Structure 1
Amino acid sequence: MARLPRLYAPNVPQLAQSTFIHPLSPIPAEPDIPPLDLLRMWLTQDAAPLGIALHGWLLMEDRITVLATPEDPTALSRLFQALGRRIAARLRHGRVFDGRYRSALLQPSQWVLPALIWLESLPVQLGRTSHATTWQWSSARCHTGMNNSFQSLLNDHADYWSCGNTPFERQTNYRAMLEEGLSSAQAEAIRRALHGQWALGDEPFLQQLSLKASRRPTPAPRGRPRKRAAE
């Protein structure tokens, strides 16, 4: 089966994820520098010059996940390629990623905040930590006001700004949302859209998106097209 072309639409946020063939491990020559610290530094250096507005990010030993609005159809591809070249040069040799990255387009005001919560909660869901804010390599600590050291890496989406009128109010309200988490239906919808590489939104959004997206944003109906009744 031919693989799907990239799904892109101007000014529409994307959830994107790429997994590694093998989990990252400490560098023998530099054992005191965690690989994820290097990856975070490279993400800081590469995202903005490519015209990518990062709304959320998560780095783990087996994957990179970002919520972003890219400036053009190739920006995210070039970001993952740049990170792959850096990883190959410093952390390992040969192929880095396990195939192409996957992505989903998201309806603002409906799915951006749930996708951000899903992304920042992944270390908890995968059993890597007990609380999202204790994972050092994600945007969760910035969004909850616990650590602003990497705030420059973020370009917060308008949906996050709608959480409150002041930074403290936004951080407090978002922290409560992050602690509450998503419903199982929300989490499954995000997972399916990401792995299927489709768009996530209501019917009017999807219809409007189909007019400007690079390809159809939802799966085609199953089965053969209906034949028109004979006149």
Structure 2
Amino acid sequence: MARQARISLAHEPHLVAQRGHGLAPVFHDSEDAARYIADLREACRQHQVLLHAYALTPGQALLLLTPSTDTALGRAMQTLGRRYVAWYNQRHQRRGTPWEGRFRSALVEQPAEVLSVLRYVEAAAGLHAPHDPSDLATGPIWSSLDHHLGRQTHPAVTSHAAFWSLGNTPFEREAAYKQWWDQGPSDRELRRIEAALLGGRPLGGPEFEQRVAQQLARSVTPRPRGRPRKTA
């Protein structure tokens, strides 16, 4: 069966995930993480993609990105893959790609779903960080959370308009986001986001899905499992 074409639209945010084979480590330490972020920043600059958030856990990278064209996201991720994998393999004396396959992505309705996805991304580093307290897994290299809490500016990150809507001043925005982040996502919210990411479909309401389907001239909702029912 042919792979479903990935949905990618200009000026719309996308949740992106890259995972190691069986979630095997692809970021062993802060040097790996720093190199990935540097290569990501360059790929985004080259292909005109905005990076709104990131979180790197040992076995995966979660990103929130907005491409400037329909093809910019795929090109940026391709450039990132070539640069990081070549460096990673040379450093760790290995061959082949460390990733499980194609990156996964989900189109995100704005502004309705952006803050939920922003929290989903930046919660990952805290939820899945290594247990070794000497590791910097929850530090600024591994997540953009500090950027949105006002602890440290990340030059690679451009905050989304949904974040700016949280307040009129940096202090108001940072306080409001911290309160939102501390609440944490509900189980239902996590299931919705992960289902959209796994299925490569839009994350949003019915009207958003309909608009995307019309723009792409194809269905973007999953079909019922099994064979169609026979009609009389």
How does the TM-score come out when normalised to structure 2? 0.85
Quote the residue 1:50 is aligned against: 47
Count of residues paired in the alignment: 220
**Structure 2 CA distance, aligned partners of 1:12 and 1:214?**
17
Cα separation, partners in 2 of 1:111 and 1:121, compared to 1, 3 Å: same
* 1:193–1:200 Cα contact (<8 Å) kept: yes
What secondary structure does 2:69 align onto?
Answer: coil
User: Offset of 1:23 from its aligned partner?
Assistant: 1.7
* 1:106–1:200 Cα contact (<8 Å) kept: yes
Alignment of 1:27-176 (within 5 A): 34-92=31-89, 93-128=95-130, 134-136=138-140, 137-148=142-153, 150=154, 152-176=155-179
Quote the residue 2:92 is aligned against: none
* 2:19–2:61 Cα contact (<8 Å) kept: yes
* 2:57–2:128 Cα contact (<8 Å) kept: no
* 2:57–2:129 Cα contact (<8 Å) kept: no
Cα separation, partners in 2 of 1:82 and 1:196, compared to 1, 3 Å: same
* 1:6–1:214 Cα contact (<8 Å) kept: no
User: Offset of 1:209 from its aligned partner?
Assistant: 1.6
* 1:58–1:120 Cα contact (<8 Å) kept: yes
How does the TM-score come out when normalised to structure 1? 0.85
**Aligned AA for 2:202?**
A
Task: Work out whether 1:221 is the aligned partner of 2:224.
Answer: yes
Structure 1 unpaired stretches of 5+: 28-32
Quote the residue 1:30 is aligned against: none
Cα separation, partners in 2 of 1:134 and 1:61, compared to 1, 3 Å: closer
Quick one: percent identity of the two aligned structures?
A: 34
**Aligned AA for 1:110?**
A
Task: Work out whether 1:16 is the aligned partner of 2:35.
Answer: no
**Structure 2 CA distance, aligned partners of 1:25 and 1:114?**
25
* 1:40–1:59 Cα contact (<8 Å) kept: no
Cα separation, partners in 2 of 1:188 and 1:228, compared to 1, 3 Å: same
What secondary structure does 1:34 align onto?
Answer: helix
